[in-house]
Amino acid sequence: MTHTGRHFLQIPGPTNVPERVLLAMSHSTVDHRGPDFAEMGLEVLQGIRKAFRTSGPVVIFPSSGTGAAEAALVNTLSPGDRVLIFETGWFSHVAWRVVAEKLGLAVDYVPGTWRRGASPDTLEERLRADAGHAIKAVVIVHNETSTGVVSRIGDLRRAMNRTGHPALLIVDAISSLGSIDVRHDDWEIDVTVCGSQKGLMVPPGLGFNAVSEKALRAGKSARLPRAYWDWQEMLKSNTTGFFPYTPASNLLYGLREALRMMDEEGLDNILQRHTRHGDATRAAVGAWGLEMVPEDPAEQSNSLTAVMTPAGHSADQLRQVILDRFDMSLGTGLGKLAGKVFRIGHLGWFNDLMLAGTLSGVEMGLALAGIPHKPGGVLAAMTSLTASALKPEAAPLAR
């Protein structure tokens, strides 16, 4: 089928890249050891701190998010170290458990249902039971992209602090940074891990580690082998705006533009925009009479919504109908949710009409694929968007 107009990329990352960022990346390749590069490098390395709400260093690798996860582990831990990883969904498994085990770490994988975030009570119990401080790090996926469930990092941090346990806190903010509040400093996170392709509105290819002083200190005695991922080499070069090896220079030009755009909109406004879009999407799903994966409304994601199709109805067939007929990509169900769940991405460079178009495609797709549902989801979303547009706190964005 021939498609006209724009493809709708509504997977929960990679996300739509703004024209301004695309244009910034179409910069001719520069000397990455020359003065123009250094100027851009310094702006990016300084500017990215705001997105993480940190005053400390953020290391930028030419990598995907999984590379940045590996970097967080190899820079802070030693072979055989015990790591507590909470099972939240597919990404706590593939990006963390599997990587940690391959690196020779001893993983305590705290079982989860994929419908709830990491439990602060369980974390507190586990740490209290570890009187000998064998656990060296706790890993939490903030926004589990496979389920749309958010773990409450502030509460988890407070639970850790109540125990006085010295384990590092490593947080995967790959699909939350720039769409759901992430507070690296306030939440005393030791390593916040991210990738460029979601809330940051840049194509895939950059991985990030925001690093606390405690994590840097841990790195002094950490014995996992590292060369490419070594923070120390990066931080030395970064002081002058450079990188120890050839950086992904064009992506960095794109990131500079994206950070400027984020500054213009304001981080709080960006988060509020994502809240409105999350609320409107949930209003649509509720009106369709379909079930969402998150069980606790306090843990619902504002960057994506994972929706279950009724038993006996394939979510993949629905996605196929929507792709063929409306040229829209939705996220697939991952791991044990394959075929049972579709995911609507509503993060990054996005607006009310893009959301209305997205939800229209889903509603028409539900009808065409013969999925039992009630009509009226799009109307419910529009009502939600209109109501929130009228609230003073959702007034025009500060510039």
Ligand X SMILES: Cc1ncc(COP(=O)(O)O)c(C=O)c1O
Contact positions toward ligand X, by CB under 6 A? 13, 64-66, 91, 95, 141, 145, 172, 174-175, 195
Q: Determine contact, residues 271/183, Cβ cutoff 8 Å.
A: no
**Min separation Cβ 176 and ligand X, Å:** 8
Q: How far apart are CA 332 and CA 42, in angstroms?
A: 38
Q: How far is CA 153 from CA 44, 77, 87, 141, 299, in A?
A: 26, 21, 15, 9, 11
**Min separation Cβ 174 and ligand X, Å:** 4
By beta-carbon proximity to ligand X, the closer residue of 145 and 249 is 145
Q: Determine contact, residues 202/24, Cβ cutoff 8 Å.
A: no
Q: Which two three-digit tokens encode residue 166?
A: 């010295």
**Min separation Cβ 299 and ligand X, Å:** 14
Q: Determine contact, residues 60/49, Cβ cutoff 8 Å.
A: no
**Min separation Cβ 360 and ligand X, Å:** 26
Q: How far apart are CA 337 and CA 335, in angstroms?
A: 5
By beta-carbon proximity to ligand X, the closer residue of 13 and 377 is 13
**Min separation Cβ 67 and ligand X, Å:** 7
By beta-carbon proximity to ligand X, the closer residue of 287 and 304 is 304
Instruction: Give the CA angle between residues 252, 254, 257 to the nearest 5°.
Output: 110
By beta-carbon proximity to ligand X, the closer residue of 168 and 366 is 168
**Min separation Cβ 118 and ligand X, Å:** 13
The torsion defined by the Cα of 35, 36, 42 and 48, in degrees rounded to 10, comes to -160
By beta-carbon proximity to ligand X, the closer residue of 14 and 361 is 14
The residue nearest ligand X at its CB is 65
By beta-carbon proximity to ligand X, the closer residue of 13 and 348 is 13
Taking the CB of residue 348, how many other CB atoms lie within 10 A of it?
A: 26
Q: Which DSSP string corresponds to 132-155?
A: T--EEEEEEESEETTTTEE--HHH
Q: Determine contact, residues 242/37, Cβ cutoff 8 Å.
A: yes
